[in-house]
Structure 1
């Protein structure tokens, strides 16, 4: 399965860390966020990494070259920051079939494989990982509602008054149908082409989309304190692994 990573963001809220580098190269636990993303996708047997770059794109291209851990990388350029649906359309010509999508500012230690398995088993048009967050934080994300079968029934991007506290985490699987929906999206009140609006168009057209609850953790590295929290969690995970290894010896 191909894997798309959206890594065009500037990361203005992470300044001064992003004054000389793009957000995706900000280090978490001494490694770029993008390396953490690539590791998770390779664990899921990604056979190609399609990376959408923008702000200071040459820094990412020079850092990774044409492959990561033996997996080929194809770069596409989002020339203007017009939203996630616009960014996703940058890879349309390179996608052959169903694919994974990961937002390149997230650090995960979670059940991403459950999302891939769910779409393959149910043959849905999309599946993605969701989590419950405090209501006061929900307006930072794409907020969704589900029915009793775990299917997504509504999605709204960064609402002022969130209808729920169930949010998309930044990991998805899609069929190529998402590209047609992205072409139909109109600019939001923020002036961006929102991925959540494209997903909502799929829902309204009768497509089935599954939600899988987060088991583990993820951090959306939008602010310096998010970066610090991700580092703490990674370190705690390493310590737990060392204890488990010692116990098994």
Structure 2
């Protein structure tokens, strides 16, 4: 299975940490953030890493070269950073079949292999977690049926109907590329992957949800510290 790793962002909220390097090279417990993400993907069975790069892309290429722990890396340049849906489309020529997607700024406490295993009985799978209602207003909220299958996804709702949210880990069929191509930009000019998954759900695809161990989405210096503590717990 291929793994797509979106890592094109600058990470401006990290302040001085990204003044001279991309977010993916910020160190977490002595290793670049992306090294932790790559390890997560490889541990889940990825046979190739397709890395979406943008800001200071050459630094990432120089740091990791053409392989990570023996797994080949293909770099794809996202010239305009227009959201996760847009990033995913850049990977289409390099992906064959169902693929794992792990955001390049997520550090997981445990394996995401259960999400990969879930597609044995579904068309796609989302790794999810419970959050507070306040946090739910800032991300993609997932609605499910009694089997844990996704019935809808609402991006950044003012009044969340659920507190179950995406974690930046997906296992997706190739048809997601067509769904992304149908997207319209948000008010901020971004193409949301959650909306593309919603299109698949409405078309009848079965999308499973899988609750994984704790994770940290690294966007601020405080979250760097939280991620380092999480890594230390492994």
**Contact (CA 8 Å) 2:17, 2:26: kept in 1 or not?**
yes
Report the secondary structure of 2:109's partner residue. Answer: strand
Residues 140/222 of structure 1: CA separation in 2 closer, same or farther (3 Å cut): farther
Correspondences of 1:34-183 after superposition (within 5 Å): 34-119=34-119, 121-122=120-121, 124-183=122-181
The 3-state SS of whatever aligns with 1:212 is strand
**Contact 1:142–1:155 (CA under 8 A) maintained in structure 2:** yes
**What is residue 214 of structure 2 aligned with on the other side?**
217
Distance (whole Å) between structure 1 residues aligned to residue 16 and residue 158 of structure 2: 28
Partner secondary structure for residue 114 of structure 1: helix
Cα distance in 2, alignment partners of residues 118 and 219 from structure 1 = 22
Q: Which structure has the larger Rg? A: 1
Distance apart, 1:111 and its partner CA: 4.2
How far did 1:236 drift?
Answer: 3.0
Contact 1:128 1:173 in 2 (8 A): yes
CA distance in 1, matches of 2:155, 2:18: 25
Partners of 1:230 and 1:145 in 2: how far apart? 28
CA distance in 2, matches of 1:199, 1:167: 13
- Aligned-pair CA distance for 1:110: 2.7
SS at structure 1 position matched to 2:6: strand
Structure 2 length as normaliser, TM-score? 0.97
Query: Segments of 4+ in structure 1 off by > 3 A?
Result: none
TM-score if structure 1 supplies the norm length? 0.91
For the pair 1:233 / 2:230, whether they are aligned, the reply is: yes
Residue 137 of structure 1: how far off its partner (Å): 1.4
Alignment partner of 1:185: what SS? coil
Q: 1:111 and 1:94 mapped to 2: Cα distance?
A: 24
**Kept in 1: contact 2:44–2:111 (CA 8 A):** no
| Alpha-carbon displacement from aligned partner over 1:37-78 (angstroms, at most 9, x marks no partner) | 111111122110000001111110111011111111000010
Contact residue 43 and residue 111 of structure 2 kept, 8 A: no
- RMSD in angstroms over aligned alpha carbons? 1.1
